[in-house]
Chains A and B, each alone.
Chain A
Amino acid sequence: MNPQKKFIAAPGGIIPNPGNTADRQTGDWRVERPVIDMERCTHCMICWIYCPDSAIVAKEGRFIEFDLVHCKGCGICAEECPPNCIDMIEELTFQNINGTSGDEQ
């Protein structure tokens, strides 16, 4: 995923480059992380359709991975998954909370 670019605040907090969320860490308040069992995944892409944060990385119609920089852990993917192969696991059980290097905090 994209490394965090340095944030330069424009006067008034105006954002002069709209659509810059791709460059920002927006998933750092996630409490639970989605974990997929790839053996049971049918690549139906229901999770990709439902994910409100576009945090399902897909390639040629197949599930690749979760974008943990932007996933906020809402759990909709796990709820909607037809074969029920996504589990929500508490972030505290992972060493790296952000899905990135973990050094930024």
Chain B
Amino acid sequence: MKPLPSDSTIEMKDAIGTVKSTAKSLSGGFAVAEAMRQTNPDVVACYPITPSTLVVEKFSELVANGEVDTEFVAVESEHSALSACLAATAAGVRSQTASSSQGLAYMWEVLYAVSGLRLPVVLHCANRALSAPINIHGDHTDTMGARDSGWIQLYAENPQEAYDNALAAVRIAEHPDVLLPVLGSQDGYTVTHSVERVDVLPDKEVKKFVGQYTPKSALLDIENPVTFGPLVSPKHAFELKLQGIEAMSRAEDVIDSIGEEFAFLTGRPLDSVELYRMEDAELVMVVIGSVAGTARVAIDRLRSDGTKAGLLKIRSYRPFPSTRICEVLGGKKAVAVLDRALSPGAPYSPLYTDICAALYSHGVILPLASFVHGIGGRDTYPKQIIEAFQRIEEKLKVGESMNQTEYLGIT
């Protein structure tokens, strides 16, 4: 493994935030490992799986070199990795893990245990298709499947966002109004293995930003003994699960306020949704993940040809910022939702379903088209997005229904 190119770093001259960052060339995986190095979690338990392996191998190297104080637990499976994190956080320390695809699937039952116990574990996920057919490339089927597991889900578009989300995740998870685990996602290969400029905060600023983890209850606090994970009867279980729902809804404000704090440091806002050329947009595409960059290029080209196109990128998928989305989409001529996951037998893919439910429940009724792209790591090109917009325009013109999901880039 090559060392981080720290010798080739350049000083940022155009920093907007109050803190001077250092620009480094990092892949998404290494960017997360860098954030983990700066966060210096007490426990990291991982089982490597492509494409999240970059995170794990870089971080274990940092541990071996003594650059972090972390207790690295090299477990024999992902089920054990998340179980070790659960136990460590219940014991009273900060823990993190990383995984992808089958690894995340193998963590499944522990995902619900972590969120149900309200333990602020942070999981760095590199999105990858689920077998079969076996495929190591990116799509969102793995994390979309985990959307009901009670974890906050943040999606990164590029290595910079992967780094930013990895730092913000710690604060969001541990916020006393939230106390929920956070899953930070980035598209396998497209983000994890793409080396881009990443503005890295100084170590001491990150240390200040993430602060100390001070749990309210901890198993190793022997002065104040508590019981974690008792059997809960039907008498109380419903209310306990509802507490998780309430925490998730409080997380919307927490994500915004921590995003503002982060923006003050870095100049980069961490909004739950990001808008591009939306002010006068008539046709809007809603996307999640790395395809946002491709969509921006497509929208610029459409704009130069006179089509008023705009982009809404979802950064926080859970909690789903319904109100904000409805404010932004209300009054548009048509909206196209671009999913990167399949939900066989469901009316539509997950993101479309969520957007549809959010709009309908807020009384925003407009033509809503469903597109699915990038399954099994298939590339998506600006041309395909432009054509998708053009088909919507055409259908609007002739008054044709848009209720059939279209699959982009299939041969």
Contacts and interface: CB of A to CB of B under 8 A. Distances in A.
To the question of whether A and B form a pair in one complex, the answer is yes
Interface of A: 7, 9-16, 18
Contact of A10 (B116, B217, B224, B225): B217
Nearest to B232: A13
B396 interface: no
Contact of A16 (B118, B226, B236): B226
Contact of A15 (B116, B118, B230, B239): B230
Contacts of B18: none
Contacts of A11: 118, 179, 243, 247
Given A13-B116, A13-B117, A14-B217, A7 B226 contact: no
Interface residues of B, number: 20
Contacts of B232: 13
Interface of B: 116-119, 179, 217, 224-230, 232, 235-236, 239-240, 243, 247
Nearest to A20: B227
Given A14-B227, A18-B225, A18-B227, A9 B217 contact: no
B248 to A, nearest CB: 12
Contacts of B226: 14-16, 18
A16 B117 CA distance: 13
B236 A12 contact: no
Nearest to A19: B225
Given A14-B117, A14-B217, A18-B225, A9 B240 contact: yes
A11 to B, nearest CB: 5
Contacts of A16: 217, 224, 226
Nearest to B241: A13
A10 B235 CA distance: 14
A7 B236 contact: yes
A89 to B, nearest CB: 26
Contacts of B247: 11
B250 to A, nearest CB: 12
Given A9-B236, A9-B243, A14 B179 contact: no
Contacts of B240: 9, 12-13
- Chain A interface helix/strand/loop/mixed: loop
B239 A12 contact: no
A11 B177 CA distance: 11
Given A7-B235, A11-B118, 19 more contacts: A7-B236, A10-B217, A11-B179, A11-B243, A11-B247, A12-B117, A12-B118, A12-B119, A12-B179, A13-B116, A13-B232, A13-B240, A14-B117, A15-B227, A15-B230, A16-B224, A16-B226, A18-B226, A18-B227
A12 B179 CA distance: 9
Nearest to B235: A7
A9 B239 contact: yes
A92 to B, nearest CB: 22
User: Ordered nearest first, which 7 A-B pairs have the shortest CB separation?
Assistant: A12-B118, A15-B227, A12-B117, A11-B118, A13-B240, A18-B225, A13-B232
B205 to A, nearest CB: 30
A9 B118 CA distance: 12
A97 to B, nearest CB: 16
Contacts of A12: 116-119, 179, 228, 240
A21 B118 CA distance: 23
Contacts of A18: 225-227
A9 B247 CA distance: 14
B302 to A, nearest CB: 47
Contacts of B119: 12
Contacts of A7: 235-236
A7 B119 CA distance: 22
B12 to A, nearest CB: 40
A16 B227 CA distance: 7
A65 B228 CA distance: 34
17 contacts: A7-B235, A10-B217, A11-B118, A11-B247, A12-B117, A12-B240, A13-B116, A13-B117, A13-B230, A13-B232, A13-B240, A14-B117, A14-B118, A14-B227, A15-B227, A16-B226, A18-B225
